[in-house]
Structure 1
Amino acid sequence: MNPGARLSAAIEILDVIEMQRRPAADALKDWGTAHRYAGSKDRAAIGSLVYDSLRVRNSAAHVMGAASARGILLGALRELRAMPLDAVAALCTGEGYAPAPLTDEERGRYADGTLEGAPDHVRGDYPEWLAPSFAAAFGADVVAEGRALARRAPVDLRVNRLKVDRDKAMRSLAHLRPEPTVHARDGLRIAVGEDGRAPALAAEPAYVKGFVEVQDEGSQVAALLSGAKPGMQVLDLCAGSGGKTLALASMMENKGQVFATDLDGRRLMPIYDRLARAGVRNVQVRAPKGRQTALDDLQGRFDVVFVDAPCTGTGTWRRNPDAKWRLRPGALEERIKAQDEILATAVSCVKPGGRLVYATCSVLREENEDRLAKLLAAHPNLLPLDAAHVAREAGLPDLAAFASPHGPGLRLSPLRCGTDGFGIATLMVG
């Protein structure tokens, strides 16, 4: 496919996503199935165009004066890729499978369009209904924070110290030019290409051998702040596919026990292969069985209970740009209810003097500080630990700069510290 045909394909897929409200990954997969002549490089390039367009949907539409798939794509080429007007015009010829030539209005908008006077949610590329929540979370930095969440994310890896140290992992991946992460001591960061493509890690020997796992630096930091140590009893209450379970087991040097469970047993299925690949031996997986809880015999037992709560995922929009446009107010309400229920369960599992670590990949106060305030009001025996103290205790004193101004814990974001958006707080049971 020529570059112009790729633009046309991206416009077609964006139309499907908007009209059918489908996840971008599903729409891209269906398009590839229906257009088998498109090679892997074509599909990757088209996917990158689609995701870039979704990243900046609001600002792109405003600049181009058109909320159509074509208008958004053209705006993304300008806003995110800084492609010169002449280069875009050379692709939009109307010949073959290329998009129709640019109109005079499109040329004018592309050359001189501006975001001046646009509302914050347009300049920051987040849904209008979330504008009050974003303003409450970020204050004067709301536009800059929104724009940072709309940029491409690097690929972050966690070195598995059960098998290798960071230097050896870096040497094994030298051809990908990894760099040490700033905050997470076992983290590596790989930049994505100009086309937005990430390396095919599943084909890398270092990954296959369990030397590294894919994990955002913010998620790695959350695990490090748990204070999990060899010999402890630790519960990963919302383990999912096991990313933080693996990190906790590595911190504990395979000594003590990590119990991994999740309300949705299907989400736990990948954990078994990941544990084997990583060489983890101190994890017990507790899958739910019908109405029977997996935690009946674990009340008041744990030194650390880690709650990576289900949330809106607003902090992961760099990696899932279409998710922000599919998110609806009802989903936030459901997540808040689930978070309160999970936190109540978590408290019952912590032993006196133990710690409850609450983390979300959300930037919203409703899912972070507000949930903790409600929990603390209901449980006078809970003590929020000073975020700066917890950071220093974990050997990460620089993180003290990211203490939340709204309540207990830390706030991480792409703008402030180069990670996904996270809220992380530690409470002690008295």
Structure 2
Amino acid sequence: MTPAARLQAAIEVLTAILDDRRPAADALKGWGQAHRFAGSGDRAAIGGLVFDALRRKASSAYLMGAETPRAVLIGMLKRERGLDADAIGKLASGGQYAPEALSDDERARLETTSLDGASAHVIGDYPEWLDDSFAQSFGDKRAEEGAALSSRAPLDLRVNTLKGEREKAAGQLADLKPELTPWSPCGLRITLGAEAKAPPVHAEPAFIKGLVEVQDEGSQLAALFSGAAAGEQVLDLCAGAGGKTLALAAMMANKGQLFATDDDKRRLAPIHDRLTRSGARNVQVRTPKSIGGEIDDLKGRMDMVLIDAPCTGTGAWRRNPDAKWRMRPGALEQRVKEQADILDRAVDFVKTTGRIVYITCSLLEAENGAQVRGFLGRHPGFAVEPPATTIKRLGAAAAGFAKAARLGPEGILMTPKSTGTDGFFVAVLRRS
């Protein structure tokens, strides 16, 4: 396929996403099945165009003065890809398989329109109804934070120290040109270009043998900040597919006991194969409402309860850009209620000298600092571990991280702009 044909295909896919409210992955898969002639490189390029358009939807539409899929994609080529009007005109030429030629108005906008004077939510590419929430979190910096959240994320890997060291993994993945992550001592990063196809990491021997797992550096740090140690009794209360469970097991060096559970047994399905591959032997998976799967016997016994809380996922918008445009106000209200319920539930499992580690992949104050303050009001027997103490677990990288991250009285906030990671909030709540 020519670049122009790929652009036309991206317009068709984006139309299905925006007009029919189809998830991006589903729309791309459907287009691929209907166009079998398209090769893997074509599908990757079309996906890159679509996801970049979703990341920059608001600002691209503003530049073009319209919210149609065509306008968003054309505006994105200027906003994200840095193409000028002539270069875009060669793609939107009206030729065979190409989009219709640029109109005089479209060309004029590409040549003269800028984001000067645009609202924060437009520059930051997030829904307008979330502007007050972003202002609570970032004040006058919210447009910059939102814009950073709209860039393409790198591919981060966590090296499983139960199987080997970071240098060993980097050597085995040398063909992917991994770099060391700046903060996590067990992270590798593969930077992807705008049209680059994500490498098939799952087919790499290092992955198959359990030496590496796909995990954003921010998620790695969230697990590291928990302070899970060999010999402890730990409960991962929202384990899901097991990403942080695996990280905790490695930190504990297979010593002590780690219990993994989730309210939805379907989310736990992938964890069993992942545990086998990782070599983790100190993990019990407790499936809810199954024989022997209840966790009441763990009450009062845990050194640590980890809550990777259900949240709006605003911190992961780089990876799921269509999610931010499908999110509705009611979702935030529902998540806040669920988080409070899970925090309250965790209290019963913590021993007298134990701690709760509360984690979200959200940037919103309602899910982060406000949630912690509400918990402390309901449970005065807990106190926040000072973030400056928590980040000492980074060792030599702690000083630099302290300058980059946002350390508040309730916890630690990481963002793409500040730390180069996905957005994560971490609070360590110790029983006092």
Q: Any gaps of 5 or more consecutive residues in structure 2?
A: none
CA contact under 8 A between 1:388 and 1:400: conserved in structure 2? yes
Q: Secondary structure at the match of 1:268?
A: coil
Output aligned runs, 1:287-302, within 5 Å. Answer: 287-289=287-289, 294-302=294-302
Is the aligned partner of 1:116 residue 2:90? no
Q: Deviations over 1:15-69 (max 9, x none)?
A: 1111111110111111111111211111111111000000000000001111110
Counterpart position of 2:60: 60
Q: Secondary structure at the match of 2:430?
A: strand
Counterpart position of 2:78: 78
Q: Secondary structure at the match of 1:351?
A: strand
Matched residues in 2 for 1:73 and 1:306: separation? Answer: 41
Counterpart position of 1:216: 216
Moved more, 90-99 or 205-214: 90-99
**Pair 394,297 (structure 1): closer, same or farther in 2 beyond 3 Å:** farther
Q: Secondary structure at the match of 1:358?
A: strand
One-letter amino acid of the structure 1 residue matched with residue 431 of structure 2: V
One-letter amino acid of the structure 1 residue matched with residue 277 of structure 2: R
One-letter amino acid of the structure 2 residue matched with residue 87 of structure 1: A
**Pair 127,292 (structure 1): closer, same or farther in 2 beyond 3 Å:** farther
Counterpart position of 2:410: 408
Counterpart position of 1:423: 425
1:82 CA drift (Å): 0.6
The TM-score normalised by the length of structure 2 is: 0.97
**Pair 394,101 (structure 1): closer, same or farther in 2 beyond 3 Å:** closer
One-letter amino acid of the structure 1 residue matched with residue 261 of structure 2: T
Q: Secondary structure at the match of 2:132?
A: helix
CA contact under 8 A between 1:227 and 1:394: conserved in structure 2? no
Output aligned runs, 1:215-234, within 5 Å. Answer: 215-234=215-234
RMSD across aligned C-alpha pairs, in angstroms? Answer: 1.4
Counterpart position of 2:238: 238
Matched residues in 2 for 1:294 and 1:20: separation? Answer: 41
Output aligned runs, 1:305-344, within 5 Å. Answer: 305-344=305-344
1:294 CA drift (Å): 2.5
Matched residues in 1 for 2:138 and 2:291: separation? Answer: 41
Q: Secondary structure at the match of 1:150?
A: coil
CA contact under 8 A between 1:402 and 1:411: conserved in structure 2? no
Counterpart position of 1:7: 7
Counterpart position of 1:270: 270
Q: Secondary structure at the match of 2:388?
A: helix
Matched residues in 2 for 1:284 and 1:64: separation? Answer: 54
CA contact under 8 A between 1:92 and 1:99: conserved in structure 2? yes
Matched residues in 2 for 1:208 and 1:193: separation? Answer: 25
Counterpart position of 1:157: 157
CA contact under 8 A between 2:386 and 2:409: conserved in structure 1? no
Matched residues in 2 for 1:117 and 1:400: separation? Answer: 33
Q: Deviations over 1:191-219 (max 9, x none)?
A: 01331422111111111111100000010
1:401 CA drift (Å): 3.3
1:182 CA drift (Å): 0.9
Matched residues in 2 for 1:364 and 1:273: separation? Answer: 34
One-letter amino acid of the structure 2 residue matched with residue 401 of structure 1: K
CA contact under 8 A between 1:392 and 1:400: conserved in structure 2? no
One-letter amino acid of the structure 1 residue matched with residue 269 of structure 2: M
Matched residues in 2 for 1:96 and 1:122: separation? Answer: 34
The TM-score normalised by the length of structure 1 is: 0.97
Matched residues in 2 for 1:263 and 1:283: separation? Answer: 17
Matched residues in 1 for 2:248 and 2:286: separation? Answer: 16
Matched residues in 2 for 1:391 and 1:402: separation? Answer: 12
Q: Deviations over 1:345-382 (max 9, x none)?
A: 11111111111100000000000011111100000100
Q: Secondary structure at the match of 1:250?
A: helix
Matched residues in 2 for 1:273 and 1:290: separation? Answer: 19
Q: Any gaps of 5 or more consecutive residues in structure 1?
A: none
Counterpart position of 2:304: 304
Matched residues in 1 for 2:370 and 2:290: separation? Answer: 32
CA contact under 8 A between 2:184 and 2:394: conserved in structure 1? no
Q: Deviations over 1:299-322 (max 9, x none)?
A: 111111110000000000111111
Matched residues in 2 for 1:79 and 1:297: separation? Answer: 56
Counterpart position of 1:383: 383
Matched residues in 2 for 1:65 and 1:301: separation? Answer: 60
Q: Secondary structure at the match of 2:321?
A: coil
Matched residues in 2 for 1:68 and 1:238: separation? Answer: 39
Q: Secondary structure at the match of 1:352?
A: strand
CA contact under 8 A between 2:405 and 2:418: conserved in structure 1? no
Is the aligned partner of 1:172 residue 2:172? yes
Which aligned segments of 4 or more residues in structure 1 are displaced greater than 4 angstroms?
Answer: 290-293, 402-406
Q: Secondary structure at the match of 2:298?
A: coil
1:84 CA drift (Å): 2.8
Moved more, 391-400 or 189-198: 391-400
Matched residues in 1 for 2:393 and 2:58: separation? Answer: 42
**Pair 222,100 (structure 1): closer, same or farther in 2 beyond 3 Å:** same
Output aligned runs, 1:279-294, within 5 Å. Answer: 279-289=279-289, 294=294
1:118 CA drift (Å): 1.0
Is the aligned partner of 1:397 residue 2:398? yes
Q: Deviations over 1:273-316 (max 9, x none)?
A: 10011111110001111799732111111111110000000000
Moved more, 416-425 or 389-398: 389-398
Q: Deviations over 1:91-127 (max 9, x none)?
A: 2222221100001111111111111111110011000
1:170 CA drift (Å): 0.6
1:403 CA drift (Å): 6.2
